[in-house]
């Protein structure tokens, strides 16, 4: 044929019509290689406002996950000391606590620190007989932690 590109016209390429979107990880790796902070909107398609909103959402999600994990650790530690019929009352308080504690990432971090201190605050002599404690004591302590 004499034309090195003639073979391209003989076989229709279906892949040309379908553009493959790179994954977020691929975009992030490319952005890091560029070392140009101004290329972010061109690569990710975000305006600067959306970028800040996305960063705030990501930070809030991270704080919420950490907060939830820390609260569950505290509750699991005290589970053996709460009366069975009181445990439901404590678990009903859990979503309220998480909602109040996670209003801002800063508040969530403060609550996480307080939960870590509270985690082991009961001295061995203070622990009540196995499976007899009312949930109200723990709930009142958790309310204090909320500030």
**Number of helices and strands (H, E) in the chain?**
7, 0
134 CB neighbour count, 10 Å cutoff: 15
Identify the burial level of 87 via C-beta atoms within 10 angstroms of its C-beta, where 0-12 means exposed, 13-18 middle and 19 or more buried.
Answer: middle
The token pair that represents 84 in the structure block: 């069975």
**DSSP per residue, 15-27:** GGTSPPPPPHHHH
DSSP designation for 39: G
In 11-131, which residue ranges form alpha helices assigned H by DSSP?
24-34, 40-44, 48-78, 84-101, 105-118
pLDDT of residue 83: 79
Q: Model confidence over 81-126: pLDDT tens digits?
A: 787 888 888 889 989 988 888 887 788 888 888 888 887 665 554 5
pLDDT band of 18, cuts 50, 70, 90: low
70 CB neighbour count, 10 Å cutoff: 20
Q: Taking the model in full, what pTM does it have?
A: 0.53
27: phi then psi, degrees, rounded to nearest 5: -65, -40
Q: Mapping DSSP to helix (H, G, I), strand (E, B) and coil, where does residue 82 land?
A: strand
Task: Kindly state the average pLDDT of the residues 73-85.
Answer: 82
């Amino acid at each position: 044929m004499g034309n090195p590109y003639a073979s391209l016209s003989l076989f229709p390429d279906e892949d040309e019509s379908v553009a493959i979107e790179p994954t977020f990880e691929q975009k992030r790796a490319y952005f890091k290689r560029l070392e140009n902070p101004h290329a972010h909107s061109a690569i990710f398609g975000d305006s600067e406002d959306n970028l800040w909103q996305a960063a705030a959402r990501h930070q809030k999600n991270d704080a919420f996950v950490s907060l939830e994990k820390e609260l569950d650790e505290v509750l699991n530690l005290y589970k053996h000391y709460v009366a069975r019929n009181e445990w439901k009352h404590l678990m009903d308080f859990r979503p309220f606590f998480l909602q109040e504690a996670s209003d801002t990432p800063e508040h969530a971090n403060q609550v996480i620190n307080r939960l870590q201190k509270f985690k082991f605050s009961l001295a061995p002599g203070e622990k009540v007989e196995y499976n007899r404690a009312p949930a109200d004591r723990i709930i009142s302590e958790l309310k204090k932690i909320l500030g």
